[in-house]
């Protein structure tokens, strides 16, 4: 029976979803490897030890093992961000599809293209509707509206994800009865109200990253600014794009954080604020002499400018880290 197939698929999808989360979590952690590698850079190590006496080399096997390790590290550096970006784009696209209502005409056309009967049988439609009705029971939280009527609401993000899978499975079966289509659209509208995403992180960090990218490109590209912008500048503006993607949070999570009193990217915004505060903390010291003349000392302005610039540069370098944290929180763990 079609409903049995859907139910079985639902169970296998649970296991698949668990494996997908584990894989995403592992890849997210491995994305920290480039940061760790900065502290063990081979070239820096060679420079630091160039004056030391030559030591007997280890076996060829050790050199080969090191080459394999560096190759794996490089692959994760290249593949990790691409995996993360691809997953986030897919989730955003899959969520936006909830805002597209199901249509009888589309399902009829789809069934004809696949060589299926033009309309689903009444028994199949009954099974689809029963499955959709049972999906409402997935929501564990009972709430009461102003009229005293009780209704179900999601208690965890996992419940929304499970219902979303059921709705997609029913859609793939392409029902054609108006009553079934109506139930599908009710589910999709309800899911979209909770799962639609909007940016809920720090715009200040993105602006800082772009400004640092432009500044670094000016400093390093006096002859060719655009070339530097797409080379050294890319180390800052590309993570800004990833940070924006990873900072898109479901409405359910935004509401949950609002109830806890949390904001979007408040800690990062605070770091940027500290840098800006130091940047503007310089003071002019005026010394007056007995003859009425005076002398101004502006050295603290330059010191504050340098310290603030260093702090802001360091904060801008952490965009990559915050992107990974946001990705794990908003697309894998939902915490």
The string of DSSP codes covering 41-97 is -HHHHHHHTTTSPP-----HHHHHHHHHHHHHHHHHHHHHHHHHHHHHHHHHHHHHG
Handedness of CA 51, 57, 58, 59 (dihedral sign): positive
Say how many Å lie between the first and final Cα of the chain, rounded. 38
Tell me if the pTM is above 0.95: no
Mean pLDDT by 10 residues, the chain (335 residues): 39 46 52 45 44 49 70 67 90 95 94 93 95 94 83 92 96 95 96 96 93 88 78 87 94 89 76 85 78 78 88 92 92 91
Provide the residue count of the chain: 335
What integer pLDDT is reported at residue 46 of this predicted model?
A: 45
* pLDDT at residue 294, rounded to an integer: 79
Whether residue 335 contacts residue 91, with contact meaning beta carbons closer than 8 Å, is answered with no
**pLDDT score for 26:** 52
Residue with tokens 């330059």: 302
Secondary element (H or E) of residue 105: helix 104-113
Contact 241, 177 (CB under 8 A): no
**pLDDT score, position 4:** 39
pLDDT at 110: 94
Token duo for residue 152: 């179900």
Count of alpha carbons within 13 angstroms of residue 303, beta-carbon side: 8
CA angle, 325 as apex, 322 and 328 as ends, to 5°?
150
């Amino acid at each position: 029976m079609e409903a049995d197939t859907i139910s079985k698929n639902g169970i296998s999808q649970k296991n698949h979803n668990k494996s997908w989360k584990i894989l995403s979590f592992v890849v997210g952690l491995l994305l920290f490897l480039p940061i760790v590698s900065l502290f063990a850079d081979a070239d820096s190590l060679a420079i630091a030890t160039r004056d030391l006496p030559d030591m007997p080399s280890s076996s060829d096997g050790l050199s080969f093992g090191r080459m394999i390790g560096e190759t794996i590290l490089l692959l994760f550096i290249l593949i990790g961000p691409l995996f993360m970006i691809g997953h986030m784009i897919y989730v955003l696209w899959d969520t936006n599809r909830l805002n597209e209502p199901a249509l009888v005409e589309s399902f009829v056309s789809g069934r004809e293209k696949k060589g299926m009967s033009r309309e689903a049988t009444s028994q199949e439609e009954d099974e689809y509707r029963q499955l959709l009705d049972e999906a409402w029971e997935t929501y564990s939280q009972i709430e009461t509206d102003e009229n005293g009527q009780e209704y179900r609401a999601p208690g965890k993000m996992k419940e929304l994800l499970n219902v979303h899978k059921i709705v997609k499975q029913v859609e793939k079966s392409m029902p054609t009865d108006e009553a079934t289509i109506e139930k599908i659209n009710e589910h999709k509208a309800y899911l979209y109200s909770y799962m639609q995403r909007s940016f809920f992180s720090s715009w200040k960090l993105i602006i800082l990253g772009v400004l640092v990218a432009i500044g670094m490109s000016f400093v390093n590209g006096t002859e060719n600014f655009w070339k530097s912008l797409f080379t050294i500048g890319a180390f800052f503006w590309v993570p800004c794009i990833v940070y924006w993607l990873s900072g898109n949070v479901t409405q359910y999570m935004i509401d949950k954080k609002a109830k806890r009193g949390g904001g979007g990217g408040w800690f990062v915004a605070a770091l940027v604020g500290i840098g800006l505060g130091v940047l503007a903390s310089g003071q002019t010291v005026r010394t007056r002499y007995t003859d009425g003349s005076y002398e101004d000392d502006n050295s603290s302005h330059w010191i504050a400018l340098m310290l603030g610039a260093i702090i802001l540069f360091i904060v801008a370098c952490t965009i990559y880290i915050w992107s990974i944290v946001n990705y794990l929180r908003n697309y894998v763990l939902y915490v």
